[in-house]
Amino acid sequence: MISDSNTRALATRNSEPGTSALNSLVIEHLRRNANSRSYWDTFAPHRRRVTELLLADRPRSGGRLAVLGAGNCNDLELDQLATAFDEVHLFDLDGAALADAVARQLVPQSDMFRLHGGVDVTGIVDELARCCADEPPQESGALNRLIASATSGGPALGGPFDVVVSACLLTQLIDTVRLAIGDRHPRLVDFVLAVRDRHLRLLAELLAPGGRGVLVTDIVSSDTCPELMTLDESDLLVRLRQWVARGNFFTGANPFVLAARFGQDDWLKENVTDVRLDQPWIWQIGPRAYVVCAITFTRGPLVA
């Protein structure tokens, strides 16, 4: 549990204009940011991979970058991004973490950064927390309304952008649903898939034609795959296929299914091209390791 003093501190951190009202789901997000803030050094290989993805194959020199779920920015080399882009937009529920990150990395081109704190990219965190404050609703109408909100919700984030990245945010969004309604809720999978598909479409919607989307997501952790702590990355793709075949992955984060969704969802199929699943890598966060992969794609010409 979070102590009263920490809760007050988190409330202060989350008090920017436009910030979601403080609730248990927001508090948990802020707590996780606070716990991982000091892992800058252990993030180095992961940070290098993510930054390289954002700098590679950009549509043009300069342009605008949007990072969804930027948090502490431990997975971003902000100085390199500031040199490569005209504007870097950082979005997260935790506005104070964003400000701390830019200050901590001592970015000389800090005027190029646009910080967007208090942003819930799903648009449902407040409603979800209210509905599940006492007990997750079992009645189908309430759940249907929540799932419908997840399918079509989300704030206006500006744009268009030349590059958009979801920085290991997808599993956080999914976990928010799990925390709210519980692991055993009969509609959990329906809810998770609605959040997942909406997130994929959001990434594409934010892109200018020809822009590049990057979905970086964690897939499985050393909690269920302890060999990750010592595994050579050259064996990782083979082992990942084995784990996925056995169902050992985070719900909603099967990378092969995620890549396939771009060719299955009607809107994505019409608006996205050049979908590619990159080689996975290992991400060390304190005492745990995670398998991470990236799916990249290009926004095609605008289609109504």
In the chain the domains, ranked by start, together with CATH numbers, are: 4-299 (3.40.50.150)
Nearest-5° angle of CA 93, CA 98, CA 102? Answer: 170
- The yes-or-no verdict on residue 6 having pLDDT over 60 is no
Task: Return the pLDDT at 134.
Answer: 65
Task: Return the pLDDT at 149.
Answer: 81
Per residue in 254-285, pLDDT (tens digit) is: 999 999 999 999 999 999 999 999 999 999 98
The answer to which of 60-64, 101-105, 134-138 has the lowest mean pLDDT is 134-138
Q: Which residue has the tokens 């909603």?
A: 252
For 24, phi and psi rounded to 5 degrees?
A: -65, -30
Neighbours of 32 (CB within 10 A): 15
Per residue in 49-78, pLDDT (tens digit) is: 999 999 987 767 789 999 999 999 999 999
How is residue 172 written in tokens? 């956080």
- The yes-or-no verdict on residue 139 having pLDDT over 90 is no
Q: Which residues pair with 289 in a beta bridge?
A: 284
- Res. 170 pLDDT band, cuts 50 70 90: very high
Label residue 303 exposed, middle or buried (CB < 10 Å: 0-12, 13-18, 19+).
exposed
- The yes-or-no verdict on residue 14 having pLDDT over 60 is no
- The yes-or-no verdict on residue 13 having pLDDT over 60 is no
What per-residue string of b and e applies to 74-108 under the rule 16 or more CB within 10 Å gives b? bbbbbeebbebbebbbbbbbbbbbbbbbbeebebe
- The yes-or-no verdict on residue 1 having pLDDT over 70 is no
Task: Return the pLDDT at 129.
Answer: 79
How is residue 38 written in tokens? 């000091």
Task: Return the pLDDT at 159.
Answer: 86
Task: Return the pLDDT at 303.
Answer: 59
Contact (CB, 8 A) for 134 and 168: no
Task: Return the pLDDT at 205.
Answer: 95
Q: How much is the mean pLDDT over the chain?
A: 86
Rounded to 10 deg, the angle between the 255-264 and 236-245 helix axes is: 80
Task: Return the pLDDT at 18.
Answer: 39
- The yes-or-no verdict on residue 218 having pLDDT over 80 is yes
Q: Whose CA is closest to 170, among 126, 138, 213, 218?
A: 218
Task: Return the pLDDT at 15.
Answer: 38
In this prediction, residues 130-142 reach a mean pLDDT of: 68
Percent of the chain with pLDDT over 70: 88
Q: How far is Cα 120 from Cα 155, in angstroms, rounded to an integer?
A: 7
Per residue in 104-126, pLDDT (tens digit) is: 998 877 788 999 999 999 988 88
In this prediction, residues 70-88 reach a mean pLDDT of: 95
In this prediction, residues 138-158 reach a mean pLDDT of: 78
Task: Return the pLDDT at 136.
Answer: 65
Q: How far is Cα 282 from Cα 48, in angstroms, rounded to an integer?
A: 12
